[in-house]
Amino acid sequence: MDTEHPDRSLNLSATTELLESLAPLATFAMYPPNTRLYLYNNGVAYCYLVRSGVCNVYHQTSEILLGTLYVPGIMGLSGTLYAEAGMFIQTHSTSEIAITRTDKVNQFVTEHNLWRLLACHSLRVTSRLYTINTRLMATCAYEIVRVQLQELMSEPAEYRHDVSAAQYIQQKTSLSRSSIMKILAQLKKGGYISIENGILLTIEHLPLKY
C-alpha cells in the first residue's frame, strides 16, 4: 500500500516516466533477497532503477534502516544524494533492478531534455527524506515507537506483513528490544494497535503521550 500524500501523485507518475525513459541505459535483472547495492563504489557513483520488489535503504556506517524504497524507484541520481550520505540499498524480496553509472544518466537526461521529470522525482525524494528526518527527532522512547509504528503502516503491505513491528523499530532506532516490546505490549493491551505473531495489522489510535 502506497500511502504517500495525494499531492505527490504527480511526482510518482514522473518517477515512473523517468524510470522508463532511462531504461535503455541498462539491462534489468532479478536480484535475490539480501543483495546489497552501494550508491558509491571505488569512487564511482551508480544509479539504480527499481521496477519491482521491496528494497530497504540503510545508512552505511551504522546500518540503520532509513526506510523502504517506493516502487517504481530510482536511487543514485546526481543532486539528490551525495557520497558522504553513506547509503546503500538491500533487497528484502526478489527485485527487478537495472544498474548504470550516474554520469551516464546525467548525460542522458541532458540529451533527452528530461529535466522536468528529474525535478519532480527529486522533489519526491527530498520530501521523503525530510519526513524521515522529522520523525527521527522524537525525544522519548514512546514517541520514537509511536512515529515508527506510523512509518511501518505506510510501508508496502508486502513488506509490512513480512517483518515484525519490534524488528522494524529496532532496525531504525537505538532502542533496546525489551523497551520496544514493553511499549508494544502496553499499546496492544490498551486496544491502540492490533498485532498478531509480531506483525502490525492495524493502528486504532496512538495517543501523543502514553
pLDDT digits (tens, 9 = 90+) for 99-151: 999 999 999 999 999 999 998 888 887 777 777 666 666 678 999 999 999 98
Cell of 195: 498485532
pLDDT at 174: 82
* HSE, side-chain direction, 13 A CA sphere, residue 176: 3
Give which of 6, 37, 26 is closest to 124, Cα–Cα.
6
Residues 6+ apart with CB under 8 A from 35: 90, 91, 95
Closest of 158, 181, 152, 180 to residue 52, by C-alpha: 158
**pLDDT computed for residue 63 by the predictor:** 79
| pLDDT-flagged residues of the chain (< 50) | 1-9
**pTM, rounded to two decimals:** 0.80
